[in-house]
């Protein structure tokens, strides 16, 4: 439900904020007051194209925003928001759209920027606008199937059909992929098996190259290494003045000194520690020197192994771990390809079963749609007669998509093409709704459809503009009656020039144009009971103060009004 609408610098509107309630909201006013501007602003908010001409003269930017409440039945809306990480607050969302003089604009839903296509898609769940500013789902052929299925109570059945269709589509893709890969399967298997054998024979170990490179470096520079080790050993323990010999003498001296001066005991122990650490280090260095030997054959083996590992890494990965991972992956793919024939036969059986199930379901749905189409067309035609279109014939066409090699050709929602057709005048053939020239006629068609589907239609807010074009008398009363009936379960906005429609309002708003400081502005305000009485009188006779007009207004309000 649209709770609050704020419009700034749009056409003649300077700064306008108005709150709305559920039920039938009627907007009236003098010709030229700006009622069409309100509808245009709504259309802008719902995602219609717009250019900088709509920006109020002298302003840099136009903006329209709305607070919209969501009910518990707004499943599609909530899923759409969740998919985009947009979170309602207290079951409400704020939509805001701006347009600058350079033609650029911005669109936000709950402060999350979205595209105009996103805005149109989102608001289509919530609003339908009918009239000269087209935002209506009625003209979208794909929505006709939804309307018919909702009327026929087929929504759960078609949802299950759609699940099967998508499952079948996915399995067919898998089959096509399997058949295409079969042609390359043998070559791929040969390549994978060769790789697995090559890696298995080489048997690389994690980190092996790093260890071998260290060993190769040691063997390649053996003479330098041996020289350095010999020099170090001499300095450490071979010479008379070696580090270890000096530490031994120091240790003995400090032990003697500590026996004389007890305060040196701690220092003596520290020198002991240094000596034992040096002695242990000397032992390790001596063992390394004694084991040090040059093995040219080992150097050759290491270099050959490094070359073999390099070839493996060049083919299968940047290091031994990657090469080993490639082997595991290749073995898994070999297993998968080896089982592909068995899997393909299983997949073929599943596809055949799904195809049979889908055709049976499609046939059953088609029969129900065909029966419901006749009833829906008849009910809508009857209502159109009451709405001033007595010669209109409304038809719901349900035609087959055709036959294929496997039987019925099916789409995501069945085997049918559903389209609403109408003949507005005697002798005219049935034709698409989009070819109806009159916005008023199209609005009345939607009013008829919404009346029939009122209980099951998920769109909560309807906007009707021009619905009273070319009608009056009993027809106008009928239009008001149907609007009032839908208003019991929907939020309705209706711009009208007819008092017989306006008296049905649950909430009556006046659109007025005022001038101040050489500038003209359009405003909207809710009418009090007294103000409403005067507005109905003006609509009846152009005189809001005449006794006859006021008496007529009182009569209509007493008979049809819900307030006043």
pLDDT in tens, 61-109: 999 999 999 986 677 888 899 999 999 998 899 999 999 999 899 999 9
Model pTM score? 0.63
Q: What is the pLDDT of residues 480-498, one digit of tens each?
A: 888 898 888 889 999 999 9
Residue 509's nearest CA partner among 44, 64, 38 is 38
Q: How much is the average pLDDT of 146-168?
A: 92
Domain boundary residue among 263, 297, 318? 318
Domain count, the chain: 2
Write down the mean pLDDT value for the chain. 86
Does one domain contain both 114 and 230? no
Domain boundary residue among 290, 318, 346? 318
Asked whether residue 475 is assigned to any structural domain, the reply reads yes
Confidence class for position 455, pLDDT limits 50, 70, 90: low
Q: How much is the average pLDDT of 44-69?
A: 92
Asked whether residue 261 is assigned to any structural domain, the reply reads yes
Asked whether residue 293 is assigned to any structural domain, the reply reads yes
Helix (H) or strand (E) segment spanning residue 448: helix 439-453
Question: How far apart, in whole angstroms, are the C-alpha atoms of residue 197 and residue 458?
Answer: 63
Does one domain contain both 97 and 6? yes
Among the residue ranges 282-286, 329-333, 421-425, the one predicted with the least confidence is: 282-286
Question: Would you say the C-alpha torsion 211, 217, 220, 226 has a positive or negative sign?
Answer: negative
Does one domain contain both 101 and 212? no
pLDDT over 80 (residue 361):
yes
Alpha carbon 534 to chain centroid distance? 49
Dihedrals phi, psi of 245, to nearest 5 degrees: -65, -45
SS3 468: coil
Residue 289's nearest CA partner among 342, 373, 226, 247 is 226
SS3 405: coil
Asked whether residue 104 is assigned to any structural domain, the reply reads yes
Q: Which residues contact 392 (CB under 8 A, 6 or more apart)?
A: 381, 384, 385, 422, 423, 424, 425
Neighbour count for residue 59 (Cβ, 10 Å): 14
How high is the pLDDT of residue 169?
Answer: 92
Instruction: Compute the C-alpha angle 355/361/362, nearest 5°.
Output: 85
Question: How far apart, in whole angstroms, are the C-alpha atoms of residue 218 and residue 29?
Answer: 98
Asked whether residue 14 is assigned to any structural domain, the reply reads yes
> 279 or 138, which is more confident?
279
Among the residue ranges 105-109, 258-262, 351-355, 465-469, the one predicted with the least confidence is: 465-469
Question: How far apart, in whole angstroms, are the C-alpha atoms of residue 215 and residue 302?
Answer: 8
Does one domain contain both 4 and 111? yes
Region at 23 (left for phi over 0; alpha for psi -120 to 50; beta for the rest)? left
How high is the pLDDT of residue 223?
Answer: 60
> 240 or 321, which is more confident?
321
Asked whether residue 180 is assigned to any structural domain, the reply reads no
Does one domain contain both 112 and 220? no
Does one domain contain both 7 and 110? yes
How high is the pLDDT of residue 41?
Answer: 92
How high is the pLDDT of residue 133?
Answer: 42
Taking each helix axis as running N to C, give the angle between helix 547-560 and helix 529-541, from 0 to 180 degrees, rounded to the nearest 10.
110
Does one domain contain both 118 and 17? yes
| The 3-state secondary structure of 92-137, one letter per residue | EEEEEEEEECCCCEEEEECCEECCHHHHHHHHCCCEEEECCCCCCH
Instruction: Compute the C-alpha angle 65/67/71, nearest 5°.
Output: 145
What's the CATH number where 503 sits? Answer: 3.40.50.300
Name the CA dihedral angle for 304, 305, 308, 309, rounded to a multiple of 10 degrees.
-140
> 27 or 71, which is more confident?
27
Asked whether residue 359 is assigned to any structural domain, the reply reads no
Domain boundary residue among 260, 292, 318? 318
Does one domain contain both 115 and 214? no
Question: How far apart, in whole angstroms, are the C-alpha atoms of residue 516 and residue 177?
Answer: 72
Q: Which residues contact 398 (CB under 8 A, 6 or more apart)?
A: 148, 366, 369, 370, 373, 416, 417, 418
Domain containing residue 522:
1-126+459-526
Confidence class for position 404, pLDDT limits 50, 70, 90: confident
Asked whether residue 225 is assigned to any structural domain, the reply reads yes
DSSP letter (8 states) at residue 80:
H
Q: What is the pLDDT of residues 219-242, one digit of tens each?
A: 666 667 667 777 777 778 776 678
Confidence class for position 563, pLDDT limits 50, 70, 90: very low
Confidence class for position 439, pLDDT limits 50, 70, 90: low
């Amino acid at each position: 439900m649209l709770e609050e609408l704020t419009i700034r610098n749009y056409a003649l509107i300077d700064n306008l904020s108005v709150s709305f309630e559920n039920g039938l909201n009627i907007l009236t006013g003098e010709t030229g007051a700006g009622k069409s501007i309100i509808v245009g602003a709504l259309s802008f908010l719902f995602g219609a194209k717009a250019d900088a001409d709509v920006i109020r003269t002298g302003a840099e930017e136009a903006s329209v925003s709305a607070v919209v409440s969501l009910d518990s039945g707004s499943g599609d809306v909530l899923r759409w928001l969740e998919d985009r990480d947009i979170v309602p607050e207290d079951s409400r969302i704020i939509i805001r759209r701006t347009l600058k003089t350079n033609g650029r604009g911005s669109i936000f839903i709950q402060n999350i920027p979205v595209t105009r296509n996103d805005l149109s898609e989102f608001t289509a769940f919530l609003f339908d606008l009918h009239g000269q500013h087209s935002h209506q789902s009625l003209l979208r052929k794909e929505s006709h199937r939804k309307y018919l299925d909702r009327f026929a109570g087929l929504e759960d059945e078609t949802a299950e059909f759609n699940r099967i269709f998508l499952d079948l589509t996915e399995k067919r893709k898998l089959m096509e992929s399997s058949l295409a890969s079969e042609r390359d399967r043998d070559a791929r298997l040969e390549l994978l098996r060769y790789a697995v054998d090559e890696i298995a024979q080489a048997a690389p170990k994690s980190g092996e190259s790093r260890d071998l490179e260290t060993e190769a470096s040691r063997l390649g520079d053996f003479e330098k290494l041996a020289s350095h080790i010999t020099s170090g050993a001499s300095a450490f323990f071979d010479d008379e003045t070696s580090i270890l010999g000096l530490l031994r003498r120091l240790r003995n001296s400090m032990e003697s000194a500590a026996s004389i001066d007890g305060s040196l005991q701690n220092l003596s122990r520290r020198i002991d520690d240094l000596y034992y650490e040096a002695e242990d280090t000397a032992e390790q260095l001596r063992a390394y020197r004694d084991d040090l030997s040059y093995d040219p054959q080992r150097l050759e083996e290491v270099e050959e192994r490094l070359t073999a590992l390099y070839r493996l890494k060049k083919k299968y990965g940047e290091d031994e771990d990657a090469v080993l991972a490639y082997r595991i992956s290749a073995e898994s793919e070999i297993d998968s390809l080896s089982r592909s024939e068995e899997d393909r036969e299983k997949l073929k059986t599943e596809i055949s079963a799904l195809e049979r199930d889908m055709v049976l379901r499609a046939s059953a749905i088609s029969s129900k749609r065909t029966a419901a189409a006749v009833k829906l067309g008849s009910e809508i035609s009857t209502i159109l007669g009451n709405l001033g279109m007595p010669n209109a014939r409304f038809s719901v066409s349900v035609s087959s998509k055709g036959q294929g090699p496997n039987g019925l050709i099916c789409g995501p929602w069945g085997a049918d093409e559903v389209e609403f057709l109408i003949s507005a005048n005697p002798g005219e053939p049935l034709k698409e709704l989009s070819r109806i020239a009159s916005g008023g006629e199209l609005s009345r068609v939607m009013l008829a459809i919404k009346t029939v589907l009122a209980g099951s239609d998920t769109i909560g807010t309807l906007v009707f503009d021009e619905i009273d074009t070319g009608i009056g008398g009993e027809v106008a009363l009928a239009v008001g009656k149907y609007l009032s009936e839908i208003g019991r379960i929907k939020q309705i906005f209706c711009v009208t020039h007819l008092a017989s429609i306006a008296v049905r309002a649950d909430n009556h708003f006046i659109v007025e144009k005022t001038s101040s400081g050489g500038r003209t502005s359009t405003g909207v305000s809710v009418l009090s009971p007294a103000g409403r009485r005067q507005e109905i009188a003006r609509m009846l006779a152009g005189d809001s103060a005449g006794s006859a007009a006021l008496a007529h207004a009182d009569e209509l309000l007493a008979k049809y009004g819900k307030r006043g």
